[in-house]
A and B are shown apart, each in its own frame.
Chain A
Amino acid sequence: MKVLIPSPLLSYTKTNRVEAAGGTMAEVLLDLDRQYPGLRFRVIDEQERMRPHMRFFVNGKQVFDLGLELRPHDAVHIVQALSGG
């Protein structure tokens, strides 16, 4: 599926649109980390929680559950949220 990457992660992916595979959000993030080592820990902490200023959208709807099931043609957007000045 297509994943939109926010600018803070471009140093990993070099492009803002990448392909990743997985049946859940968690699997997609693992696949992204396999392709771009180190990326996952910058957005998901060691207790499997989304980091405070990262947001995840599937088909335009915000999701909070990494176990959410995904279909192959879903569009995943990773978004940087407000984090101060």
Chain B
Amino acid sequence: MSRTSKTRPSRTKASASRTRPAPARVPARRVIVLVATRKGAWLYHGDASRRTWRVNGPHFLGHIVHHVVLDPRDGRTLLAAAKTGHLGPTVFRSTDLGRTWKEAVTPPAFAKPDEGSAVPARSVDHTFWLTPAHRSEPDVWYAGTSPQGLFRSADGGATWAPFSGINDDPQYRGWMGAQQDGTPDGPKMHSIIVDPRDPRHLYFAMSGGGVHESTDGGKTFAPLVGGMEVVEGFDAATITFHDPHCVRLCPSKPDRLYQQNHCGIYRLDRPSKTWIRIGRAMPKAVGDIGFPMVVHPRDADVAWVFPMDGTMVWPRTSPGGKPSAYVTRDGGATWKRLDKGLPKEHAWWTVKRQAMAADDRDSLGLYLGTTSGEVWMSRDEGLKWSRIAQHLPEIYAVETAALR
């Protein structure tokens, strides 16, 4: 894909459910669902009731797209992290909801190491995660890459530069580990979080390599792994053994974070530095292993997970072939299964860490994408699910945004 391209929209309708939505108490803004896959990206535009979805795409057909995010600060700028099997990683930007795209002039790329550097040179394999910065920094974005690297753009995604000193810091490089310490398609920098109260307060997570926090605008970071467990037989004091899968901050209570980890589900209430394993309250037969973590935008006691089988050889599929979300409404003290409308058996789904999201409507909508190419949604916080797309390539990420 060159620096600029156009995508023709299609009017194909996805399936609609007959379920009557709950009465809206917040003025409805139309929802767009941004689906990133191993073979391109698709945008699903919902009608006001979120019953019918107009598909727009494919964008970047054949590209490996790890993340597509719409900037909530302007409601129209899209960033897409893409590469192909042959071509190196880049970032595309659209300011007209995907009608046209423009390639970054300088995509995320590691610096060349200084002569005599103790750490070996690295190249970005793919940009994995995109996070818009604080509202007071309208053109600033952060990106996390594989292998793990933190990057920043100050011009809306046109040019990117290494951010903070961690990319080449010998201690951080040690914590990032080697290729063997990451996921099968490379170690990931993810869950880049900006405190809505303070643009200088940042978090990120690494698979593997733990959760980290900065209070000085990224100048320095420090591990935040207290209470987090690691695989049995390993030392939890070793940062590289920590494998957070997804970390989310509660917008309504920014001192609260939830985390889905390789070793359980956690909650952290700052200023505490000790994560509490709230996944212990999950049903034993299901366990508390999974990839995604979703928080309610207006109620910090409410969060959702989508458990997977983390036993034996780690199939990472829905336990027993029976997919279900689980919700807590009391900060993790109790969990409730939410599988109405989902397949009852023989559905061996995997939902990746970026592939589950909420909208901001009331009643809240939930969305998830499977590696088998289906997108499902619920208009009532997970009480009932319906499928809105199928036959897509392997889904890597599902994000939502409200259109103005």
Chain A residues proximal to chain B, CB less than 8 Å? 6, 8-9, 11-12, 36-38, 41-47, 49, 51, 53-54, 80-81, 83-84
Contacts and interface: CB of A to CB of B under 8 A. Distances in A.
Nearest to A49: B123
Contacts of B338: none
Q: How large is the interface on B (under 10, 10 to 19, 20 to 34, 35 or more residues)?
A: 20 to 34
A9 B87 CA distance: 8
A41 B123 CA distance: 11
B174 interface: no
B231 to A, nearest CB: 29
B84 A8 contact: yes
A11 B86 contact: no
Q: When A and B form their complex, which 5 residue pairs have the shortest distance between CB atoms, in order from nearest?
A: A83-B85, A11-B2, A46-B109, A45-B123, A42-B87
B248 to A, nearest CB: 31
Nearest to A80: B86
B87 A51 contact: yes
Given A8-B86, A43-B88, A51-B86, A38 B110 contact: no
B5 A41 contact: no
A45 B88 contact: yes
Interface of B: 1-3, 5, 84-88, 90, 103, 105, 107, 109-112, 121-124
B5 A47 contact: no
B1 A54 contact: no
B87 A43 contact: yes
Contact of B88 (A12, A42, A81): A42
B110 A11 contact: no
Interface centre among B1, B85, B121 (most CB of A within 10 A): B85
B123 A38 contact: no
A12 B5 CA distance: 10
A47 B3 contact: no
12 contacts: A8-B86, A38-B90, A41-B88, A41-B107, A41-B109, A45-B123, A46-B112, A46-B124, A51-B88, A53-B85, A53-B86, A83-B85
Contacts, number: 57
Contacts of A44: 88
Contact of A47 (B86, B87, B107, B121): B121
B121 A38 contact: no
A81 B86 CA distance: 7
Interface centre among B5, B121, B123 (most CB of A within 10 A): B123
Contacts of B111: 46
A55 B378 CA distance: 47
Contact of A38 (B85, B105, B109, B122): B105
A84 B105 CA distance: 28
Contacts of A81: 86
Contacts of A37: 3, 105
A83 B185 CA distance: 13
Contacts of A9: 87
Contacts of B103: 38
Contacts of B124: 45-46
Contacts of A51: 86-88
Contacts of A49: 123
Nearest to B121: A47
A16 to B, nearest CB: 14
A46 B110 contact: yes
A45 B121 CA distance: 11
Contact of A8 (B87, B105, B109, B121): B87
A66 to B, nearest CB: 14
A46 B105 contact: no
Contacts of B2: 11-12, 36, 38
B3 A38 contact: yes
Given A11-B5, A51-B88, 14 more contacts: A8-B84, A38-B3, A38-B90, A41-B107, A42-B87, A42-B88, A43-B87, A45-B109, A46-B111, A46-B123, A47-B112, A47-B122, A47-B123, A83-B86
A68 B301 CA distance: 62
A49 B123 CA distance: 9
Nearest to A83: B85
Contacts of B123: 45-47, 49
Contacts of B110: 46-47
A84 B84 CA distance: 10
Contacts of A84: 85
A22 to B, nearest CB: 20
